[in-house]
Amino acid sequence: MTAIKHPVLLWGLPVAALIIIFWLSLFCYSAIPVSGADATRALLPGHTPTLPEALVQNLRLPRSLVAVLIGASLALAGTLLQTLTHNPMASPSLLGINSGAALAMALTSALSPTPIAGYSLSFIAACGGGVSWLLVMTAGGGFRHTHDRNKLILAGIALSAFCMGLTRITLLLAEDHAYGIFYWLAGGVSHARWQDVWQLLPVVVTAVPVVLLLANQLNLLNLSDSTAHTLGVNLTRLRLVINMLVLLLVGACVSVAGPVAFIGLLVPHLARFWAGFDQS
């Protein structure tokens, strides 16, 4: 696999593509006609917005920002899981973390007498994902030094199916909340507002610098556990930090957009194809 080495191509093309797609998302496919000029003016301060500009500011812009933050969070979580398990198929969706977080959210929504939102919901989702991940690691032999990669994935798929079954039972029993839970389980950012941006942003801003600081250790861990240990990496502490970051990222994403799948699986491979395996 030949990675892109020139810095202009390595960083310039993805950033340019992201900016173009982000700008198009502000005005394309709108029920109310919105032009590119409206989207541009909506980003500028110092004037009273028109209806199309207000639509961009209050609906389209937070949705696009939430989509970017969720994509970055799940891609980062997938990369960390693939490094931790030495398994290219590892992702929050295939290892049961998404479904565990979704089950915890569904049970909370069905049983709580008052609505729960914000960081409390993220914490509940992270706890659900953590319990699910612990069960997958136990059933799949992930705590052994010579675990079977395929067994870990199969355990994750089985537990995901089990959690989704329990979630559907919750839908049947909680008739008053069924529609809201069902709509949320479909996954998406159509309902995203500015409060969701402020809920996700601190998580991403916290996780990304920590991962960058650990990049060299992650490179060593990507080779093998024994190599990393020989070169002085504290494997217990590194695994603990990785697990905490994954649960933090996935919990925040699931609480906002529902159990979004496959981003955490595909994007890390696309990034490695483009930039190589060096995580620093």
Domains observed in the chain: 60-273 (1.10.3470.10)
- Along the 280 residues of the chain, how does pLDDT read in single tens digits? 555 566 667 777 888 888 888 888 888 877 778 888 888 888 888 777 888 888 888 988 999 999 999 999 999 999 999 998 888 888 999 999 999 998 998 888 888 767 777 778 888 888 999 999 999 988 877 666 556 678 888 899 999 999 999 988 888 887 766 666 777 777 888 888 999 999 999 999 999 999 999 999 998 888 887 888 888 889 889 999 999 999 999 999 998 888 888 899 999 988 888 877 766 6
157-201 pLDDT per residue, tens = 999 999 999 988 888 887 766 666 777 777 888 888 999 999 999
- CA separation for the pair 107, 163 (Å, rounded): 11
Residues 6+ apart with CB under 8 A from 159: 96, 99, 100, 132, 135, 136, 139
Contact 124, 274 (CB under 8 A): no
Distances, alpha carbon 241 to alpha carbons 61, 90, 224, in Å? 32, 17, 18
Which two three-digit tokens encode residue 234?
């504290």
Q: Which of 181, 161, 183 is nearest to 170 (CA)?
A: 181
3-25 tens-digit pLDDT: 556 666 777 788 888 888 888 88
Q: Where are the strands (E) in 32-148, listed by range?
A: none
**CB contact at 8 A, 192 and 227:** no
Query: Of 209, 67, 195, 206, which Cα lies nearest the Cα of 119?
Result: 195
Q: What is the mean pLDDT of the chain?
A: 85
